[in-house]
Chains A and B, each alone.
Chain A
């Protein structure tokens, strides 16, 4: 009865082989590397780039132990960090001759020393979380209300120009919260506007209410689905902008992910200058282009005497000089697709080149035609506080959406302005609501601590099992080792992120997994105590223990799933390992250990005794049990 069919042994063999294969990459460690990835979307990292890098390395007298090109990124592996640093400088000089405007990101990284044959099987080491490798984690909250308000503001502007084109008379357009309010003196213009909105502004819902004095108030609001679209786009655009900003930091493998409806998680492994990272990310800014008010009142206010005139506001530029700008927003960062520093073709002055989308280009053309010789201001809003980035004079009408801003700028300032403008094309302001920084030394310390906990716990448990249950204990210990092997293999295969709580979960789940074997061994002992023959005892022991093991694993799994569903961050890392560990333990503790027991004892027909430690029999207890059984 204690025989396994051949296929069961095959399953065990295959599981252990696969487990070993996928656990293997974790033992090779990591090597210093230089990673080259594109700095702009227009740049590609290809064989051509690889050639350049190889040449640069040869010129510097360095050889990479491995050079791989995949996913538009080139990785060169080196033996020592010294070589790695030299190689980074050499590659940086070759690929980015203009350090202020790099086309490639050349970053230091650590890559696994996994041999090629293993990598080709997609076997890779576990992915270490930030708390184990060091780095920065940010969670940013996108201010969706601000995105909606901004959209309403932009729509109000468009409505105003459309109504002017159609010669519809109105008593004023204003934004009230996220609604656009238009006052009409007569019914016909209200009707005309309603028709126009239906035809041209599909995103708006209108409602007309009569006011006192015969006026009519039309209130236009964003349709719910349009509102959702705005939020979705805002989030996407923010993620793209974050990508660009982070590229400037030169991080090898940044993670930028949407979380929930209005949050973005940014993880920068290996970043040590957290202040700079925060500085660049924290520039949660939006951009607006408005006209400078050049009335005499405004001029007065600019010098410092008097208030800003009606319909205008006062902002300071970066040198602290006051600029009075009109409240009406001509363009927002949404219409700005790119901003790059460069040089004027004729004067060789430093300049900033802006690229606008088609709508932006159209508006810009109209505005510049009507305002030649006047000043326009580009404002950057950070957390509600506005600042004038630049207020250039419009020289000619500008069409085509390519705008050049030049004059009295150093190339450094141009690069700064371009960065700020790019940063400003965020659709909605963001705020850092969670931030975690882990120094690299702490990461290494955490790995060591987690590793020690698992190792010593494992040693203590197996030592106890072997002493207490003899051969059955040894089998249980082997099963526990297989459990650890399978768990690590599954984690490596899934490329799940391993964190310190994950390592704690690993230790805990091993402690819980051994329970199944304790249950089995105790049950077998009990059957022996009650006078069962060894083979029967093994059979009944495994059989009866199974339902209990299943029960206990289900309740543990319920807790694990709850943590997975509602947990975030460190808890999730814990829960993933916890749940996987429970599942692998069912295989190793029951199926696998039974296999070993069957292999050892199953063939012996006349088995006299099993090595499971002391089976203590109180004589009267046995007698009592037999009595009781008879009485039934």
Chain B
């Protein structure tokens, strides 16, 4: 079986401008939504109490909201979680009152209505922990960005490092943009997914850059644009198959992982889909704009003699 019967190199770079424009627009939309709507952060980041309560039969949410408000807690979110019988209650960290007692009080109130109600899960996070988690998250992001850039710079050259990281950071922003637009809950596992996807989708840029370097060595007559086109064309099948197989796993999580893993899998899905787009179209295009050349990469193997560039203007007179 073969999905990719490509006869000749696809001139991807001819449309580089369009791809970059599409990227810019999605990127700015993502940034816009991030600022206008903001992320819907989970209690882990904001501090507060979260309760998952299971009832014996489907329950109406409005009376429950009223019931909890009657206890004196304001700004409480009540919503179904997974099924009509499971309810998720979120309460912001209440100042002054004993926050750890919140869940106990709410639970006993709920038990009055339905004696069968069970507290399946509860979580209380103090505000000081939330701030720390947010800072640690940003530190982790910085660590990944710097680490990957250093690696790419050593492995290839700074232009590739810049191109690779811009392309993949733009994925991260787009994932965040989705979470902001749909107001999906941004929790710690989602953060983990975002960082994992950042490390993962850089791979695809690496595959293409690897091929670009190889092509620079093999095909001396081609110019940079042709070399990039050839590199993308010859790697597109593996890019799509590798991402596809990872997506199969993620899909399985999305389908069977239940509500807890839902947003985690969703973040991975967006990351993987945009990862293909960004490594193929964005990273290579940026690398092209930055002016990658044969000389940047080949000088290391010059000792080989046969690899000397005949077009090199400095070649010739040897003293």
Contacts and interface: CB of A to CB of B under 8 A. Distances in A.
Physical interaction between A and B:
yes
Contacts of B125: 433-435
Nearest to A552: B203
A102 interface: no
A453 B261 contact: yes
B7 interface: yes
Nearest to A570: B188
Interface residues of A, number: 85
Contact of B202 (A438, A439, A522, A555): A555
Given A449-B256, A519-B238, A558-B148, A504 B7 contact: no
Contact of A453 (B52, B196, B237, B252): B252
Select the residue from B188, B238, B249, B261 with max chain A CB neighbours within 10 A: B249
A526 interface: yes
B96 to A, nearest CB: 11
A278 B128 CA distance: 20
A6 interface: no
Interface stretch (A57-65, A105-113, A454-462, A591-599): A454-462
Given A460-B248, A515-B245, A559 B258 contact: no
A501 interface: yes
A512 B256 contact: no
B121 A437 contact: yes
Contacts of A226: none
A583 B316 CA distance: 47
Contacts of A452: 252, 256-257
B249 A508 contact: yes
Interface string A433-454: 1111111011001100110111
Which label, helix, strand, loop or mixed, suits the secondary structure of the B interface?
A: helix
A120 interface: no
A613 B203 contact: no
Nearest to B194: A559
Given A453-B253, A504-B261, A559-B198, A571 B192 contact: yes
Contacts of A616: 2, 5
Interface stretch (A407-415, A463-471, A487-495): A463-471
Given A433-B126, A518-B241, A556 B219 contact: no
A579 to B, nearest CB: 11
A558 B188 CA distance: 18
Contacts of A578: 196
Contacts of B75: none
A511 B248 contact: yes
Contacts of B29: none
Contacts of A437: 103, 119, 121-123
Given A500-B260, A518-B242, A552-B200, 13 more contacts: A274-B122, A433-B125, A433-B129, A437-B119, A438-B121, A457-B253, A461-B249, A504-B261, A504-B264, A552-B203, A559-B144, A563-B140, A628-B221
Interface of A: 139, 141, 274-275, 278, 282, 431-439, 441-442, 445-446, 449-450, 452-454, 456-458, 460-461, 464-465, 467-468, 500-501, 504-505, 507-508, 510-512, 514-515, 518-519, 522-523, 526, 547-548, 551-552, 554-563, 565-571, 574-575, 578, 613-616, 618, 620-621, 624, 628-629, 631-632
10 contacts: A435-B125, A504-B264, A508-B268, A512-B200, A522-B241, A562-B143, A563-B140, A563-B192, A567-B140, A620-B7
